[in-house]
Structure 1
């Protein structure tokens, strides 16, 4: 039986406020721990599924510029 990491993360963050989400992101970035990456990935997945095409283009542009 496999562990559903995505499901566990979603269950853990379900019902989070905007402030909770921001605190989670800031905390993950400040700590820089590898174990936080899956959670950030799930948050990004939630964003992506709910973003407009224009928002998706903007975030891809920002990320690609940050990688220069």
Structure 2
């Protein structure tokens, strides 16, 4: 459990005070990239999720369901 907390903290520290362009570059570089980047994207999503309203969460879920139903199998 301690390793997971440290990973979260490290990822959050890595993006804290970064410019919008830097964060976008990190996300774009991680999408479809090496699977080692997936935990970082998960932490970023967790930050967004925790700070979102119930309505925003429902919108995320709907978008995800829509995109998954259209994704190639």
Q: What TM-score do the two structures reach when normalised by structure 1?
A: 0.81
Give the root-mean-square deviation of aligned CA atoms.
1.5
- Runs ≥4 residues deviating over 4 A: none
Uncovered stretches (5+) of structure 2, i.e. residues with no partner: none
- CA distance in 2 between counterparts of 1:62 and 1:15 reads 28
> 1:19: how far off?
2.3
Higher relative contact order (CA 8 A, sep 6+): 1
Q: Number of matched residues?
A: 66
Uncovered stretches (5+) of structure 1, i.e. residues with no partner: none
Q: What TM-score do the two structures reach when normalised by structure 2?
A: 0.77
